[in-house]
Structure 1
Amino acid sequence: MSDQGFSFPSDRLQEIASDILKFAKKRGASACETDVSEGFGQSATVRKGEVDTIEYNRDKGIGVTVYLGQQRGHASSSDFSKAALKATVDAAVSIARFTAPDPCAGLADAALMAKDCPDLDLHHPWRPSVEEAIAAARRCEDAAFAASPKITNSEGASVSTQESHFVSANSNGFIGGYASSRHSLSCSVIAGEGDGMQREYWYDTRRDAAELMSAESVGRRAAERALARLGAKKIKTCEVPVLFDAALAVSLIGNFVYAVSGGSLYRKSSFLLDSLGQPVFSPLVNISERPHLPKGFGSSPFDSDGVATHDREVVTDGVLQGYFLSTYSARKLGLQTTGNAGGSHNLIVKPGDMDFAALVKHMDRGLVVTELLGQGVNYVTGDYSRGAAGFWVEKGKIKHAVEEITIAGNLRDMFRNIVAIGNDALPRGAKICGSVLIERMKVAGR
Structure 2
Amino acid sequence: MTQSLDTLTQTLLETAKRAGAEAADVLAVQGTAISIDVRGGALEQAERSEGIDLGLRVLIGKRQACVSASDTSLATMQAMAERAVAMAKEAPEDPYIGLAEPDQLASDWDVAALELADPSDEPSPAALQDDAQRVEAAALAVDGISQVEGASAGYSHQQIHLATSNGFSGGYARTDRGISCSAITGTGANMERDFAGEARIYQNDLPSPESIGQQAAERALARANARQPATGAYPVLFDERISTSLIAHLTSAINGVSVARGSSWLLDAMGEQVLPKGMSLTSSPHRARIAGSKPFDGEGLATREVTFVEDGILKNWVLDLATARQLGLTSNAHAARGTTAPPSPSAGSLSLTLGDKTRDELIAEMGTGLLVTSMIGATINPNTGDYSRGAAGFWVENGEITHAVNECTIAGNLRDMLKTLIPGNDARMHLSRPIPSLLVEGLTLAGK
Which ranges of structure 1 fall in alignment gaps of 5 or more residues?
1-6
CA distance in 1, matches of 2:121, 2:323: 38
2:359 matched residue in structure 1:
356
Given the alignment, which residue of 259, 270, 275 partners 1:265? Answer: 259
Is the contact between residue 29 and residue 66 of structure 1 (CA under 8 Å) also seen in structure 2? yes
Name the aligned partner's letter for residue 131 of structure 1.
A
1:52 matched residue in structure 2:
44
2:18 matched residue in structure 1:
26
- Residues 102-113 of structure 1 mapped to structure 2, 5 A cutoff: 102-113=94-105
2:188 matched residue in structure 1:
194
Which ranges of structure 2 fall in alignment gaps of 5 or more residues?
337-345
Given the alignment, which residue of 370, 379, 382 partners 1:379? Answer: 382
1:291 matched residue in structure 2:
285
CA distance in 1, matches of 2:18, 2:127: 51
Work out whether 1:206 is the aligned partner of 2:200. Answer: yes
Is the contact between residue 247 and residue 426 of structure 1 (CA under 8 Å) also seen in structure 2? no
Work out whether 1:127 is the aligned partner of 2:122. Answer: yes
Name the aligned partner's letter for residue 14 of structure 1.
D
CA distance in 2, matches of 1:80, 1:114: 27
Given the alignment, which residue of 70, 73, 82 partners 1:78? Answer: 70
Is the contact between residue 41 and residue 58 of structure 1 (CA under 8 Å) also seen in structure 2? yes
In the alignment of these two chains, the number of paired residues is 436
**Cα distance, 1:345 vs structure 2:** 3.1
Deviations 1:363-420 (A, max 9, x none): 12211000101122222221111111000111211111111110000111110111x2
Work out whether 1:229 is the aligned partner of 2:209. Answer: no
Given the alignment, which residue of 133, 142, 154 partners 2:148? Answer: 154
Given the alignment, which residue of 431, 438, 442 partners 2:433? Answer: 431
**Cα distance, 1:304 vs structure 2:** 0.7
1:67 matched residue in structure 2:
59
Work out whether 1:250 is the aligned partner of 2:252. Answer: no
Structure 1, 123-132 or 315-324: larger mean CA deviation: 123-132
The SS at the match of 2:307 is strand
Is the contact between residue 48 and residue 156 of structure 1 (CA under 8 Å) also seen in structure 2? no
Name the aligned partner's letter for residue 170 of structure 1.
T
CA distance in 2, matches of 1:72, 1:288: 32
Name the aligned partner's letter for residue 135 of structure 1.
D
Deviations 1:143-172 (A, max 9, x none): 111111x10011111001011011101012
Given the alignment, which residue of 417, 420, 423 partners 1:421? Answer: 423
The SS at the match of 1:42 is strand
The SS at the match of 2:72 is coil
CA distance in 2, matches of 1:248, 1:8: 43
CA distance in 2, matches of 1:215, 1:132: 12
Work out whether 1:41 is the aligned partner of 2:40. Answer: no
CA distance in 1, matches of 2:206, 2:381: 36
1:445 matched residue in structure 2:
447
Q: Please tell me the root mean square deviation across aligned C-alpha atoms, in Å.
A: 1.4
**Cα distance, 1:46 vs structure 2:** 1.0
Work out whether 1:138 is the aligned partner of 2:133. Answer: yes
2:214 matched residue in structure 1:
220
Is the contact between residue 240 and residue 442 of structure 1 (CA under 8 Å) also seen in structure 2? yes
CA distance in 1, matches of 2:17, 2:198: 46
CA distance in 1, matches of 2:267, 2:121: 44
CA distance in 2, matches of 1:402, 1:361: 18
Is the contact between residue 255 and residue 347 of structure 2 (CA under 8 Å) also seen in structure 1? no
TM-score (normalised: structure 2): 0.95
CA distance in 1, matches of 2:267, 2:40: 51
CA distance in 1, matches of 2:436, 2:89: 49
Name the aligned partner's letter for residue 57 of structure 1.
S
Work out whether 1:330 is the aligned partner of 2:324. Answer: yes
TM-score (normalised: structure 1): 0.95
CA distance in 2, matches of 1:76, 1:200: 38
Is the contact between residue 163 and residue 170 of structure 2 (CA under 8 Å) also seen in structure 1? yes
**Cα distance, 1:126 vs structure 2:** 5.2
